[in-house]
A and B are shown apart, each in its own frame.
Chain A
């Protein structure tokens, strides 16, 4: 058996993708890569609108609207969208994030034109009845109960965002509030469509088994006639640099274990420092030899899980550190151990062995992140829409590979400091179920 030694940096690299771009006269961008290895295509349409574009009093609207995009357009009746995809052997879904709303289909390559037609029809027109609008709003409320209101720690994201941001519209999660959902009207729906669901605010991403020429021809045919529309309103808010550590307790009546969540304000996705910050998260959290797992979970045994992760968004972003207590461990113990781990990453360099580990973990995640047409299109869309250049698909890995131990120390000392931190102390309101055997 080989003994523990310093593994070398792996020679394996994520393979490059041949990326093509095409711009329609109405402003629609087309970003695509042919991959004929399987007769499969993933198609995504990225609308550059998310929950941060919602005004106070209208939270949850971008997500509610995403649901309504499956409820009918000029040539496609309610529920027919799903049926057309299914009849073609495809799968379909959509998601709404802080910055974008993304609709996607994965399908056998013989139905590319049908899928483009479906997406074009609902970009060109939306046809939702008042009755279906009201029902869909109830569906969204059930989604909110399922993911947020009923689970023991379901309100965590909402509670941390509303405190970590003082004014930037990342203050609320995409699901929104029930009161705001109830305020939405069908007129809001029509206005939202005509403001944001425009060719100039959209990017069509496709990866898989097609010829670029046919893709362009079909896209011109079905999307080309859609008017480009007016100017897209953008968010101009900023978030003030925090000056003091903040700490707030919350009690979750249905939670059995205490927890700590720290949020540090970060620069946006694609900022030169963001790569070293993601590598810091890797050092802290990836694998069972990572710093937080080893310290809080394995050695001190005060946490049942502990993670640090960067949520990098188009605007001011957050670095989260999270620890869920073991029964008997206090919030103060979690806090001081997290503080020690963060101090260590600010004050000293990671060892050569740790750096090799982090670089290999990033390489493996890049390779794994290219294991399907959909995985490739996900990252291609992120590069095109949020990083502003689809060609960064093939160069982003090198930015991580270039990160040094000094880069990580420097960004940790710059951003992961107490004065930028909001600490949420979660106190369990429920007695733990864990019982000792006799």
Chain B
């Protein structure tokens, strides 16, 4: 019996939005959606951790966590009480390229939401005692992370793949870099990089666009334009084959990451690479998950992804398996990547990827805040203005030849970095067939040092 046929889909265009540029230079997008009495504000500032030298790794993230911990007008607990009293959420975090602030409030607190977002963005003062609190919390959370193979694999893979590129350093900092950061570093980072001409605000939800623009103008007009030193992040480095093991004695499972540098998000090959990745490891039914999970029972999940940023990116395949099967899992992954490099997708795989990506686009834009996030990606990643409006059409237009050409231009299956985090005594010697194996004990692993070893632990 064959499944019931699909009926004609109800079309859903990329939702309309309005744009205004305030006198201060801040660009504001408004996405009206009156289904819920809720507003979501998202602000992206080009103040990412890639702007921080490795010796100060963690600075952008610590600065983000301190934005709501005291402004020239309000104390940390004032802000906490105002946010909580109205049932709101206010948070900030730093990624590679940007610091992202987000405020989600009930409609009746719209004015307060803009007020708090602007106050914490513009007037954060980084009080000493709050720095110590946030630092202590960040160090405790790192202490837990450093016992977690999944976390260490992500951090180690970024270094193995991107070397000393600005995107390679650990965004959370390390137990050595965080204690060295001081108030002056935080304030200087804030002054240098937080500016309305390097920021975009998206307002989504139960607010007329005009009102959104007025509120943005009222609360953000005092944001001073900062001296704009140009942001210069180099393109990705050349790929370099290597095998890196982070040794966690006693671990019962190995986290595996295999990858290489990749292009910036605005590169014309980005779309065919992303569609090709669907066949390799982008879904449950991808080659990688079918082989390692369904056929071999080696893992709960295997997949691959592209993390493409403003200036460069990385391609990475990941899985995890019981310690004794580590080498077998690496072998399967390498074989699959090599095969994929020559044959990125069959016509059937391409058709399935297209159906999925174009069909699920209406799911991905169901919520106003999700539409807003996509709008913000356009300026942050230097994408064309009609990027989302034409996205499905461009996916539908891709051919197997387009995928093959893009993959052959960028994927180097002989130059992959292989990272395994687990109990090295159970598997490291069996990885030697993939290249010279470097074993770094987790207790000495320092992702902010060029050698990956903490000072005093040089090999």
Answer whether residue B35 sits at the interface, using C-beta atoms and an 8 A cutoff.
Answer: yes
Complex Cα distance, B166 from A387, in Å, reads: 52
Given contacts A1-B74, A327-B143, is CB(A298)–CB(B106) below 8 Å? no
Q: Are A304 and B37 in contact (CB under 8 A)?
A: no
Complex Cα distance, B142 from A75, in Å, reads: 49
Number of interface residues of A (CB under 8 A): 96
Q: What residues of B have a CB within 8 angstroms of the CB of A152 in the complex?
A: 144, 147-148
Q: Which of A142, A209, A353, A437 has the most B CB atoms < 10 Å from its CB?
A: A142
Q: Are A86 and B352 in contact (CB under 8 A)?
A: yes
Q: Are A108 and B108 in contact (CB under 8 A)?
A: no
Q: Are B80 and A435 in contact (CB under 8 A)?
A: no
Q: Are A10 and B106 in contact (CB under 8 A)?
A: yes
Q: Are B112 and A2 in contact (CB under 8 A)?
A: yes
Complex Cα distance, B73 from A305, in Å, reads: 27
B321-356 at interface with A (beta carbon < 8 Å):
321-322, 352, 355-356
Answer whether residue A118 sits at the interface, using C-beta atoms and an 8 A cutoff.
Answer: yes
Q: Are A117 and B362 in contact (CB under 8 A)?
A: no
Minimum CB–CB distance from A97 to chain B (whole Å) comes to 18
Q: Are B285 and A433 in contact (CB under 8 A)?
A: no
Given contacts A107-B363, A136-B297, A430-B147, is CB(A38)–CB(B7) below 8 Å? no
Q: Are A434 and B9 in contact (CB under 8 A)?
A: no
Complex Cα distance, B294 from A10, in Å, reads: 50
Q: What residues of B have a CB within 8 angstroms of the CB of A324 in the complex?
A: 140, 144
Give the contacting residue for B80; candidates A74, A82, A107, A288; CB below 8 A.
A288
Minimum CB–CB distance from B200 to chain A (whole Å) comes to 22
Which partner residue on chain B sits nearest A256 by CB separation? B143
Q: What residues of A have a CB within 8 angstroms of the CB of B362 in the complex?
A: 38-40, 89, 108
Q: Are B252 and A145 in contact (CB under 8 A)?
A: yes
Complex Cα distance, B250 from A151, in Å, reads: 11
Complex Cα distance, B82 from A271, in Å, reads: 32
Give the contacting residue for B77; candidates A78, A298, A430, A435; CB below 8 A.
A298
Answer whether residue B133 sits at the interface, using C-beta atoms and an 8 A cutoff.
Answer: yes
- Counting contact residues on chain B (CB < 8 A from A), the size range is 35 or more
Given contacts A89-B359, A108-B9, is CB(A367)–CB(B38) below 8 Å? yes
Q: What residues of A have a CB within 8 angstroms of the CB of B2 in the complex?
A: 75
Given contacts A289-B77, A437-B176, is CB(A12)–CB(B297) below 8 Å? no
Q: Which of B10, B144, B147 has the most A CB atoms < 10 Å from its CB?
A: B147
Q: What residues of A have a CB within 8 angstroms of the CB of B137 in the complex?
A: 297, 304-305
Minimum CB–CB distance from A438 to chain B (whole Å) comes to 9
Q: Which of B84-92, B239-247, B377-385 contacts A (4 or more CB under 8 A)?
A: B84-92
Answer whether residue B290 sits at the interface, using C-beta atoms and an 8 A cutoff.
Answer: yes
Q: Are A40 and B251 in contact (CB under 8 A)?
A: no
Q: What residues of A have a CB within 8 angstroms of the CB of B86 in the complex?
A: 7, 10, 360, 364
Minimum CB–CB distance from B203 to chain A (whole Å) comes to 16
- 11 A-B Cβ contacts within 8 A? A10-B108, A75-B1, A82-B283, A82-B284, A89-B359, A91-B360, A107-B359, A107-B363, A108-B359, A286-B84, A435-B176
A residues near B, CB below 8 A? 1-2, 4, 6-7, 10-13, 15, 37-40, 74-75, 78-79, 82-84, 86-91, 106-111, 113-114, 117-118, 134-143, 145-146, 149-153, 209, 253-257, 286-290, 294, 297-298, 301, 304-305, 324, 326-327, 353, 356-357, 360-365, 367-368, 370-373, 430, 432-437
